[in-house]
Amino acid sequence: MLALGLQSKREIARIRTRVRTAMAQTREQGRYLGGRSPYGYRLADAGPHPNKAHAAWGAGAPLRAGPGHRAGRPLDVRPAGGRAQRRPDHPRPQRRRDPVPVRRRPKRNPHRTGVAWMLRTVAAILANPRYTGRQVWNRQRADHDLVDPANTRLGHRQVQRWNLPAGRVISARPAHPALVTEADYIAA
């Protein structure tokens, strides 16, 4: 068991190193790490594959980093005439008849009606520093809390918590077009 524990710790250290290396490369290249693109953005073409061997036979930049995630592609602003508007900091998007994000893919969020904007959705958009054009990492962390502090045998559960702004990693220069200025973001 001791050998398996040491092997597990070594693999965790290797994974941590690979993830941090990938984040540093992404920070320098200004590419999106993956997941859903933020409201008002779309994934753009990233050009040839970064691996020269793959690029030689015509492969493009990697599209998938896992099931349902796209990584390695830069963010681009959705056209103003498209589904998203240019400014996400408008206090009442439904007054301007901005489309509700859930309407694009109703199967993804069957619990939402899609009739009007939810307050939590607007608050999440206003609190997302990615709209300033910079890459942002480490906004949340995974903590492991005891299920029942009185009974430690029940084990732990994973809980997502927000990190303080001082603990976040923000790119030094803009990585994609900004939808709002940094002054507007701070004011919002």
If pLDDT is split at 50, 70 and 90, which confidence band does 12 have? very high
**130-142 residue pLDDT tens:** 889 888 878 888 8
Task: Tell me if the pTM is above 0.75.
Answer: no
Tokens, residue 158: 């994973």
Delimit the domains of the chain by residue range.
1-30, 31-126+184-188
Question: Which is higher by pLDDT, 179 or 171?
Answer: 179
Q: Report phi then psi at 150, rounded to 5.
A: -80, -20
